[in-house]
Amino acid sequence: MSALGNVDNQIMWNRLIAVVEEQATTLIRTAFSTSVREAGDLSAGVYDRRGRMMAQAVTGTPGHVNAMAESVSHFMEEIGLQNMFEGDVYITNDPWKGTGHLHDFTVVTPSFRAGVLVGFFASTAHVVDVGGRGFGPDANEVYEEGILLPIMKFAERGEVSQPLIKIVRNNVREADQVVGDIYSLAACNEAGDNRLQDMMDEFRLDDLEELSDFIMNTSRDATHARIAALKDGTYHNDMTADGYDAPVVMKVALTIRGADLVADFEGTSGVSKFGVNVPAVYTRAYACYGLKCAIAPEVPNNAGSLEPFRIVAPVGSILNAPRPSAVSVRHVTGQMLPDVVLGALHKCMGGVVPAEGSSSLWNVQIAARPVDPMSGLPRSEVLMFNSGGTGGRPTLDGLNATAFPSGVSTMSVEATEQVGPITVWRKELRSGSGGAGRHRGGLGQVIEIAPNEGYEFFFNAMFDRIDHAPRGREGGEAGAAGSVALDDGTRLAGKGRQHVPKDRRLVLKLPGGGGYGDPADRSQELIDADIEGEYVTR
């Protein structure tokens, strides 16, 4: 019989979620990069002493949170519990032991109580630069993509490793931002630990083991029950994405047997020569997220609720790329995975799954450079997150310019322009881009960016859904495909490093979501509202 009882455990579980929300809020308030403080491209979580994720902050992305759920065990194995001390902070950006690419730094801090290890806090953030080629898909190996920090100590017993700081500073273009974000990650873990100690004082806890077992067992059982309620069978789906030099085909066989579920990506395209490959940890993160959204959305996210979803991808496929594959823009491929698995799940549980959306973020990494190198004007790196439309839903229209499945916020124009010498001349909804249906797909955006006086810029394109638009569902039409061009009409590629001269503007047209249901069934009231709002033309 539990010494605490279910009511006590539930209260503490809710408190724990509040603890990690404060952890994430601390990171947002102290971060240097706009991707963290403006877009929320981060994650935060608390773990028991066995490395199981007990709670995650709602703020953050599935690719970070669900991948980070596996990370702490790697830290425990590499460093060893016997080498962990109070005041330690650990770090890595290893794509295969962190969250999938070098631009994400994962920081882990052990939590001690009365000298005894009781758990861990972990956090992840996308930093603006890690050296190498910069954030983009052009590399052929991970070695070209930037500096890789293996799992190591950022601080030992409270003393920060100054040699590590010097190494990072001398290998990145925006040293202050990157180093500042690393300190922010450490600070947010410390804030989480402070709140955890207060909670343990209040509830007179010496450790977290009983609470953790309650969280894991309750979440696991609830998720298994949701899976068991589905019809047994194997359901297939496939999707073609643009890829870099060749289209990428993703195939899934979703098998449900009782309370067990397996998503097998056998038949998916092989590893690419370019940086659109996905480490297995990121594949599991987004495939699990898509399935959980539809099957067990009300169950809090933790190691217990993720355990019932078994994700399998063949080694050597683009969804299980081995070292030293280039993986810098793994999100472009990986963020398609919820649509892939949801398409299979739709055949099992109709009336729940939306049509396909833009899915992948349309991130723009801009390297602003003076036209005259001797002018004395500074060089700048600018990262801007943008989102297309989501797919129409069984009972509602899709969402306009909304980041699903990543969940990040779009950076404001004002914040972006403060970071570097660029001007965003236009940022507006893209009329007519949502696929027609009983419920219309969400609209994409039109974004127009130019270098300021005395500057030109190079940008790393990492866009998809240009050659393969988001598909509708149940008779709904496809959303509009995306496009990349200069303002004079010159078409540009959807991926790779490209140039915008001093007197030109970059024009991005982001995809709209697919429609859901027969367009003939759309109500006249909704059609009139679309015309009045200029979502469609008459």
Q: What are 161-219's pLDDT values in tens digits? A: 999 999 999 999 999 999 999 999 999 999 999 999 999 999 999 999 999 999 999 99
- CB-side exposure of 379: number of CA atoms within 13 Å? 10
* HEC letters along 358-389: CCCCCCEEEEEEECCCCCCCCCEEEEECCCCC
Whether the pLDDT of residue 151 is over 60: the answer is yes
Tell me what pLDDT residue 476 has. Answer: 98
Rounded Cα distance between 383 and 380, Å, is: 10
**pLDDT tens-digit map of 231-269:** 999 999 999 999 999 999 999 999 999 999 999 999 999
- Closest to 101 measured CA to CA, from 51, 136, 52, 54: 136
Phi and psi angles of residue 116, each rounded to the nearest 5 degrees, phi first: -115, 135
Q: What percent of the chain has pLDDT over 70?
A: 99
Pairing of strands 104-113, 233-241: unpaired
Q: Report how far residue 119's alpha carbon sits from residue 437's, in angstroms, rounded to the nearest whole number.
A: 49
Tokens linked to 464: 């998809």
Report d(CA 459, CA 241) in Å as an integer.
21
Q: Which of 387, 334, 346, 358 is nearest to 473 (CA)?
A: 346
CA distance 39 to 178: 16
Tell me what the mean pLDDT of segment 275-281 comes to. 98
pLDDT at 4: 58
Phi, psi of 490 (to 5 degrees): -65, 120
Question: What average pLDDT does range 474-486 have in this prediction?
Answer: 98
Six-digit token string for 53:
């994720």
Determine how many CB atoms are found less than 10 A away from the CB of residue 2. Answer: 11
> Would the pLDDT of 302 be above 90?
yes
Q: What is the reported pLDDT for 40?
A: 87
pLDDT mean across residues, the chain = 96
- pLDDT grade for 60, boundaries at 50, 70 and 90: confident
Our CA dihedral for 404, 27, 146, 388, rounded to 10 degrees, sits at 20
Query: In the chain, what percentage of residues exceed pLDDT 90?
Result: 93
pLDDT (tens digit per residue) in 380-434? 999 999 999 999 999 999 999 999 999 898 888 998 999 899 999 999 999 999 9
Q: What is the dihedral of CA 361, 367, 371, 375, to 10 degrees?
A: 140
Q: Are 142 and 148 in contact (CB under 8 A)?
A: yes
Neighbouring-strand partners of residue 263: 254, 311
pLDDT at residue 281, rounded to an integer = 97
Q: Helix crossing, 209-228 with 280-295: angle to 10°?
A: 70
Which DSSP symbol is given to 68? H
Are 325 and 370 in contact, with CB atoms under 8 Å apart?
no
Query: pLDDT band at 1, cuts 50/70/90?
Result: very low
Residue 2 has pLDDT above 80, yes or no: no
Can you name the residues that pair with 92 across neighbouring β-strands? 106
pLDDT of residue 3: 56
| Amino acid identity, position 135 | F
Closest CA to 27 of 98, 122, 119, 112: 122
pLDDT at 444: 98
Token pair 């052990």: residue: 110
pLDDT digits (tens, 9 = 90+) for 483-507: 999 999 999 999 999 999 999 999 9
> What angle, rounded to 10 degrees, do the helices at 175-203 and 6-30 form?
160
- In this structure, how many other beta carbons lie within 10 angstroms of the beta carbon of residue 80? 9
Length of the chain: 538
User: Nearest 5°: phi and psi at 287?
Assistant: -65, -45
**pLDDT at residue 361 greater than cutoff 90:** yes
What local confidence, expressed as pLDDT, does residue 536 receive? Answer: 92
Q: Which residue has the higher pLDDT, 59 or 287?
A: 287
Q: What is the pLDDT of residue 411?
A: 83
